[in-house]
Chain A
Amino acid sequence: DGGITQSPKYLFRKEGQNVTLSCEQNLNHDAMYWYRQDPGQGLRLIYYSQIVNDFQKGDIAEGYSVSREKKESFPLTVTSAQKNPTAFYLCASSILAPGEDTQYFGPGTRLTVL
């Protein structure tokens, strides 16, 4: 079964600790994305990557970091510099081809910082 997996589903951390969220896809998609979702605010783009070893900041990149060492994997690190990290984090991927703009989403990770 092809798809996007995110782990863990729920994550609890103490304030001041860095934490890494996993995102893996076996769809052979070129592009991968990280979004943050807060109640009443929709989805906001954190980082995205179109190719291995390259990534770009989205609209709210401050306090986050990513890597893209493999096509299948795009982990997100929430650093202690992120002032309000408690949120639902969604990973997505898409093909980079004309007419293929659809982003497919993983099940999400809910991060709670205590």
Chain B
Amino acid sequence: AQSVTQLGSHVSVSEGALVLLRCNYSSSVPPYLFWYVQYPNQGLQLLLKYTSAATLVKGINGFEAEFKKSETSFHLTKPSAHMSDAAEYFCAVSAGEGFQKLVFGTGTRLLVSP
């Protein structure tokens, strides 16, 4: 079975500061990992995904994430926060290739102050 833990329901940063959103996973098989972003009252948009190729994954809007098997982590980072990054971010895991259900974390709300 797969599970995801997102540490911190809220993260606050200043504009221009580093963004770090934490995600740890549990999986009995090599996982596929995803980060999604959700703006208020909207659906989820894929930021990036890891599917067992390169461990450092680059996504949209300047975000990237690094898969660390030894730490079972897939943290999301962005070097410099922008006001438009304020949203809720979800980490998700599936059990690899083929049809697999996604298991989502509880989400982290990113607050960006001027």
By a beta-carbon cutoff of 8 Å, the part of chain A in contact with chain B is 4, 6, 9, 31, 40-45, 48, 50, 58, 88, 90, 92, 96, 98-99, 101-108, 110
Contacts and interface: CB of A to CB of B under 8 A. Distances in A.
B26 to A, nearest CB: 15
Contacts of B43: 4, 6, 90, 105-108
Contacts of A40: 9, 106-107
Interface stretch (B14-22, B78-86, B93-101): B93-101
A108 B45 CA distance: 12
Contacts of A107: 42-43
B41 A108 contact: yes
B2 interface: no
B106 A42 contact: yes
Interface of B: 9, 32, 34, 36, 41-46, 49, 51, 90, 94, 97-102, 104-107
Given A40-B106, A41-B106, A110-B41, A58 B97 contact: no
Contacts of A43: 44, 90, 104
A86 to B, nearest CB: 15
Contact of B99 (A9, A42, A50): A50
A102 B42 CA distance: 18
